[in-house]
Chain A
Amino acid sequence: MDKTLLQNLSTELRRGTQTLAVLSQLSKMEYGYSLLQSLEEKNVAIEAGTLYPLLRRLESQGLLISEWDVSESRPRKYYLLSEDGKMIFQRLKNEWNSIVDEMNILFKEEK
């Protein structure tokens, strides 16, 4: 069995869910690294090199709002769901649930 093939397919499958995972964690303010850690704690596999650009992309699409905190010695950029982001997250969550249902039906048939 080709290992890289499996890896590619699984990366492809996961890519869409990463957006959903990030959106789900941002109903409260988080900065890049804290978000990465909290996702890791919950065993969600996402790489730093994927997460940081993703945050920036979601912000430019208007789903996130951001703010620089310069009160401490290290400046940090905090992200939070925007109003649009909240709505889209709800819709995507519904979409995800129906995907899971559809897939489960297909997998049952298979047996």
Chain B
Amino acid sequence: MNQLIERYIYDVTRRLPESSRDEVKKELRANIFDMLKENPSNEEIEKVLLTLGEPRVLANEYRPKKRYLISPEWMDDYVRVLKIVMIIFASITLVVSLIENILNPEAVSIIGIIAEVFAKVVSEVVQSLINAFAIVTLIFFGIEAANIKSKKSNWIPESLPQLPKENVSKISKSGAIAELMVNIIGGTIFIFLLMKNALYLGWYTSGEGWTITHPLFTDSLVQPFIPLFIISVIFSVFVSLTKLYYGHRNIQVAFIYTLQKVLSTVLFIVFINQTGLISTAFLTEASNYFSVNGNEIKNGIEDAFLGFSIFLGIIVTIDLIKVWIKTFNQGIKSHINRISKLAEHNQKNNR
């Protein structure tokens, strides 16, 4: 009979900090028995427990402080960061796992391979999403814990974000996110192929399946560039995030965008114009196959790369000029706007 009461008390107090458990237990027991007559029936006990309410709710009333994993004040920032991080994690995993699984299938039949790739990619993407969720949540939990400790709010009015200016050409959010994903996906594929260039890029010979006998690039010339390309991709992600942060064109965005474009383009051009980048083994194989002089092929490829470099340089330059014109135009527009408003204001005052 009393067991129901003890179970109720246990269910309330097990949710409380250990230090207050014993005292609350004693209080609750005394209060419950006060609310009952001598030798109460089961129904009477149940009625009293029902008036006290659900143990979870009562325990919450007893708790000195409200507890959150992520408190309401941080929820907005948390959700915003979570979205971006999840997109980044999912797209990287999608690309890497697609490539890995398509290139190294375990199944034999086409349908088997499709099913295998699909299942593996889905499970790896889901896993990466869970990881992203856990990492972001942990970081925010840490920020919150640190904040509670210091208890000081170091908010200063100066740190408020700038108002979105009138008459600005806005950078579309979905555009910036799409760019972010393209950068990540494209960058990951590119770096992945370079890292394993001996495996996937080269002269394919059909024997039992397609295998590479003569890699396209000289590996020793490729490897030093890989860290630089990784940095370049990270930089481009940073630029996209800057665009997302400001949400409109301004000098800062244009500057960092220019810096990133110039650096990555120079890096790429230097990379493809290295002498000896195309491996001799590949050239020999190609010259045998097409029965052309190896040197001619070499010169042809080098000319093509040089031509492509110039083409790329022109395109990037045009792009950058466009960006700066837009940025300045907008600066002038908002300036004119300000002057005309000022003039209006003065006119009113003069009347």
**Chain A residues within 8 Å of B, Cβ to Cβ:** 31-34, 47-50, 52-54, 56-57, 60, 68, 74-77
Contacts and interface: CB of A to CB of B under 8 A. Distances in A.
Interface stretch (B23-31, B132-140, B193-201, B300-308): B23-31
Given A32-B27, A48-B31, A49-B51, 8 more contacts: A32-B30, A33-B34, A49-B53, A50-B61, A54-B61, A56-B24, A57-B64, A76-B30
Secondary structure of the A side of the interface?
helix
Contacts, number: 47
Nearest to B54: A49
State which size class the interface on B falls in: 10 to 19
Nearest to A75: B30
Contacts of A54: 61
B62 to A, nearest CB: 5
B58 interface: yes
A42 to B, nearest CB: 19
Contacts of B31: 32-33, 48, 52
Contacts of A48: 31, 35, 51-52
B30 A77 contact: yes
Nearest to B20: A56
Q: Which of A32, A34, A53, A68 has the most CB of B within 10 A?
A: A53
13 contacts: A31-B34, A32-B31, A49-B58, A49-B61, A50-B61, A52-B27, A53-B61, A53-B62, A56-B23, A56-B24, A74-B33, A74-B34, A76-B30
Interface string B50-79: 011100011001101000000000000000
Contacts of A50: 61
A59 to B, nearest CB: 10
Interface in B203-231: none
Secondary structure of the B side of the interface?
helix
A52 B53 CA distance: 12
Contact of B28 (A47, A52, A75): A52
Contact of A77 (B27, B53, B64): B27
Nearest to A68: B26
A49 to B, nearest CB: 4
A47 B27 contact: no
A48 B57 CA distance: 12
Nearest to A34: B34
B30 A56 contact: no
A53 B51 CA distance: 14
Interface in B1-60: 23-24, 26-28, 30-31, 33-35, 51-53, 57-58
Contacts of A52: 27-28, 31
A77 B33 CA distance: 12
Q: Which of A31, A32, A52, A57 has the most CB of B within 10 A?
A: A52
Contacts of B28: 52
Nearest to B60: A53
Contacts of B27: 32, 52, 56, 77
Contacts of B64: 57, 60
A49 B23 CA distance: 16
B297 to A, nearest CB: 80
A60 B63 CA distance: 12
B100 to A, nearest CB: 53
Contacts of A60: 64
Given A32-B30, A32-B34, A74-B30, A56 B52 contact: no
B140 to A, nearest CB: 29
A31 B27 CA distance: 10
Contacts of A33: 31, 34-35
